Structure formats: C-alpha cells, structure tokens
Amino acid sequence: MSEAPVSAAPQWWRDAVIYQVYPRSFADADGDGMGDLEGIRSRIPYLARLGVDAIWLSPFFASPQNDAGYDVSDYRAIEPRFGDLDDFDRMLETAHAHGIRLIADLVPNHTSSEHEWFKAALAAGPGSPERARYWFRDVDAAAPDTPPNNWQSIFGGPAWTKTEDGKQWYLHLFDATQPDLNWENPEVHEEFQSVLRFWLDRGVDGFRIDVAHGMVKAEGLPDTGGDGTIEMIGTTLAPFFDQDGVHDIYRTWRPIIEEYEGDRIFVAEAWTDSAERRALYLRPDELHQAFNFDLVLAPFKAAEFRKAIDAEIANNAGVGAPCTWVLSNHDVQRHVTRYGGGEIGLARAKAATQLLLSLPGVVYVYQGEELGLNEVLDLPAEVREDPTFFRTNGEQIGRDGCRVPLPWTREGDSLGFGAGGSWLPQPADWAERSVEAEDGVEGSTLEFYRAAINLRKGLRGSVTGLTWLGDPGDDAFAFDNGALVCVVNFSDEPVPVAGYGTEVLLASTPLENGTLPAGSTVWFAK
C-alpha cells in the first residue's frame, strides 16, 4: 500500500475507524516479553492495510505498571519498557506517513503513588499544600478503622487507604497505588493543561480521556447507596462519577486543543446512566466524542441493539456530535466470547462488526478482534496481573483475558509477538488465528475486516443517516443508511432477504438460497 501523509481534511473524526493498540500486547521489538513502541512502529503498515484512520494508543507514560500503565508516574516521559521519546517520535512519524493519526490515552483522575506529587505529599504531612493535590482525610480517633465514607474501589475493597503513620486516609477509586487527584486544586488544572500542550506540541492528534466522568467528586464526599460498591463497567449513579463539575474542566481544555492545526480531538471514556447524560460531554464547547458502551452491555438481540442505536443517534444529534460504536476494548470480555464463543460466537461477532461499520458515526476496533480472537478464560493465577484479581482474592478474574499478546505467526513461543516470549501466555489454537494464518485467505476474519472497512471508506460521504425498513423476522432488522441497505439476523434461524436488494456488497456469512444465515449481516447495494 502506498504511503500517504495525514490529510488536513476537517472533521475526519466524524466517520473514522479507530484502532485501539494496547502497547504491552501488540508487538515486542526488543524481546523482553512485553510490547513496545518500536514494535508498534514496525506493524503500522499492517494497520494501514487494514484501512484504519487512527490509532488510540493506551497509556505509554512512565509507570510502575501496577495497573498496566493507568498508574502514571510521569506524564511527560515514556515507560522505559516501551522505549523513549525518540522512539515515540519515530512511531508517530511513521503513523503519519501512512495516513494514520494517533490519539494518546490521558489519565487525569489519578496518578501513580510513585508520582513525584504523591511522594511529596506523603513527605509533607497533613495540612500541607502538597497533600491538597489529592484527597486526604484525617483518621477519626474514635473509629480509627472506619474510612471517611463507604466508597469502595472499582477494583474491589475499600476506596480509602491509611498513610503509614496512621494519621490520615487517602482516596483511590481504583488500586491503592492510584491515588485520586483533587480537581478542586488549581495546581491540578494547571498541570494537566501543561501536559496537554506537551503532547500536542509533539504532534499527537488528540486524547482519549480515561475515567472522564470521575475527576469531580460530590461536595462533602457523601456515602453511596447500599454497601458503596460500584461496578466499573456499568451505569450506576455514584457521588464520584458524572458530576456536573467535570464539564467545567473540559470547557477549559477545548480552547487549548483548538489552538493547534490538524483538527485534533478529545474522546471521553464516560460511563453514564443514560445516553442523555453522555451527550452532555459532547456539547460544542466540550469534547468531540464520547464512547457509547451500550452495545458492549447489550445481549446479541435485535431489540436491544435497535434501542441502543436509536438512543445514540437521537441524543448525539441534539448536540451535533458523531455517534461512536464499540464492541470490545481492554476492559471488557472480547465479544466473540460474549456472543457464545466458538464458531457461533465468531459468526455473531463478525455480524455485529459489519453492522457497526454501516452505522453513521465512528467505529472503534480493539486489537485482535480483526483476527477473531476469543477471551482467554483459563489463565493461571500465577501469571495474572490485573489488580482486580488480587483485590477480590480471585473472585473476579479481571481483564487479563482480553489483553493476551497478539499472534502474528503460526509458530514460535510467542507466535511472532516477540523473540522473548510473551508476558501472558497465548492459547495454542491462536496459531490458526494469527495474522500469518489469515492473511490473504478468502473467508478469514482478517480479510473480512479489511473488506468491510475499505468498503465503508469507499462509501464515505454517502451515509446520510438511518431509515429503518420492514424487518425480515422477529429477531432481525434492516435499514437504509443512504449508501447501502443493511440486514442483520440476530436469530438462530435463517431469514429471507428477498426484496432488500439484488447486489450483495458483503456478507459476514454467505447467503443461502435467498436467505441470511443465523447470526449474520449482509450489505446490499442501493
């Protein structure tokens, strides 16, 4: 594929296909068993051939890696296991040369406990300006073992940990090594505005904002309902999530990113209790995109998908923002497994992906889904690293199963991931799901993704919306997006598709005598 520099076309982000790279697990160039920036750079031609418009790169900053990089110790440095700033610059240059933008993953809700600010806070003691950057509260002498409130960590256990001297508690909505920043402190605002400029000056095309709904806490830090437990992947209301004050932060960030050329963007990871609340993050003076996780939570049912699609389109239209569609990421079980696993799960996963690629808006692809990878459910306890597993004493297995390194070749102890093995073991049957095994093979998941993404690109500008058509069955639906007609069969039986079109552009499973097989999607030319 010929190389082309990133274009200056405005608002590319309204209908892009964006590929999430999880650095630890994508490609390992130095043979230490963990992915790195040079490994990513070496595989950018593969992403260009896949047809993606941008990479969302999970955290690559300096970090003790207690939560796989989401515990940042220095926001202006590269984690040495991944490389250095020169490696980053080379990777970014290569991506841009192939017409691919790069969205960095920013973590503003908390730092690592190894961050200089937190180390200074512990050294300075109670009442100090250094501690005012975080959420410290005095221990109650009358109840020294009772935390300031009933909040529970998203990873399990209390959200409060005592300092070593036993005088104060500090808040961490995630692991104890991830203390929450206090966004009521002006220094925190100033620091992150500086961090934004540092990476924008370096050439990144935007930021995905981790826990974008969590930076502001309700006044007085009131108890939650029940036992204080709030799931990470969910929409439960909580006094530490989706507080109105977060919007004031983003109104100060939007002018900064608009100073820079190249139509750069902010993307929110914002778990809210409704599509209406999520749309508030997308007002014209705030963020450009917000992940819609409704389809991550939805069962493989026509009614559930249609409800989520209608809500997203209606609410985003009210603020003039593009819809976003996603089925998997580094925090959730891969959708092949969610949809039943095996050949049935894979067929449904391909059908759901083809559906997403026909919807108006932006589609996110998680690394490895283009190979049809399943969730690895049987990782032994001794190799697991997710803090959720340890904080719940193994009751929750955590997210390691969707983070297993990619298979690039059929052979080798890490299936081409790197010369030094892989930090999590890969299933033996992934050899036949490797890039080498699927590349150029008619009917493979990889070739299906390439065809679907590039067909979508060829129709760019022709998608005008979504008009529902008469349904072909009880658990199926059809719609016209202005460029093509899409029919999706969620049921366990074939459905007739005569009358929706005669020219098949693409089918996730070949049609059989004018019927669409179970768990399949077809695109008809108009």
Measured CA to CA, the distance from residue 270 to residue 9 in angstroms comes to 27
Could you give the C-alpha distances from 318 to 11, 445, 465, in angstroms and in order? 18, 36, 14
∠ CA 358-264-16, nearest 5°, is 10
381 φ/ψ angles, rounded to the nearest 5 degrees: -55, -35
Sign of dihedral through CA atoms 208, 213, 215, 216? positive
CB contact at 8 A, 148 and 221: yes
Measured CA to CA, the distance from residue 333 to residue 399 in angstroms comes to 7
Residue 502: burial class (beta carbons within 10 Å; 0-12, 13-18, 19+):
exposed
| Residue spans of alpha helices (H) in 259-399 | 275-279, 294-297, 302-317, 335-338, 342-356, 387-391
Nearest Cα neighbor of 365 from 324, 316, 399 is: 324
- Compute the CA torsion angle 443, 355, 293, 454 (nearest 10 deg): 60
Measured CA to CA, the distance from residue 487 to residue 489 in angstroms comes to 7
Query: Is the backbone of residue 68 left (phi > 0), alpha (psi -120 to 50) or beta?
Result: left
Measured CA to CA, the distance from residue 156 to residue 441 in angstroms comes to 44
CB contact at 8 A, 516 and 522: yes
Measured CA to CA, the distance from residue 83 to residue 79 in angstroms comes to 6
Measured CA to CA, the distance from residue 28 to residue 248 in angstroms comes to 40
Q: Which amino acid is at 40?
A: I
499 φ/ψ angles, rounded to the nearest 5 degrees: 100, -15
Nearest Cα neighbor of 183 from 204, 162, 157, 209 is: 209
Active site residues: 210, 259
| Residue spans of alpha helices (H) in 52-184 | 85-97, 116-124
